[in-house]
Amino acid sequence: MIVQGLTCRQVLAEAALALAQTSDTPRLDAELLMAHALGITREDLLLRHLDAPTPAAFAALLTRRLTHEPIAYITGTRAFWTIDIAVGPGALIPRADSETLIEAALDHFGAAGPATILDLGTGPGTLLLAALALWPQATGVGIDRSETALAMAKANADRLSLADRACFALGDWANGIDQRFDLVLANPPYIGTAEPLPADVAAYEPAEALFAGPDGLDDYRIIIPQLPRLLTPGGIAVLEIGHMQAEAVSGLVDQQGMAASLRCDLSGRPRAIIAR
The string of pLDDT tens digits covering residues 157-184 is 999 999 999 999 999 999 999 999 999 9
**Helix, strand, or coil (residue 142):** strand
Angle at 230 between CA 246 and CA 168, to 5 degrees: 95
pLDDT classification of 5: cutoffs 50, 70, 90:
confident
Q: What is the pLDDT of residue 1?
A: 63
Whole-angstrom distance between the N-terminal and C-terminal Cα of the chain? 54
179-220 confidence digits (pLDDT tens): 999 999 999 999 999 999 999 999 999 999 999 999 999 999
CATH class of 8-67: mainly alpha
How far is C-alpha 123 from the chain's CA centre? 8
Angle at 261 between CA 177 and CA 114, to 5 degrees: 45
State the fold for domain 89-275. Rossmann fold (3.40.50)
Parse the chain into domains and list their residue ranges.
8-67, 89-275
CB atoms within 10 A of CB 146: 20
The percentage of residues in the chain with a pLDDT greater than 90, rounded to a whole number, is 98
221-262 confidence digits (pLDDT tens): 999 999 999 999 999 999 999 999 999 999 999 999 999 999
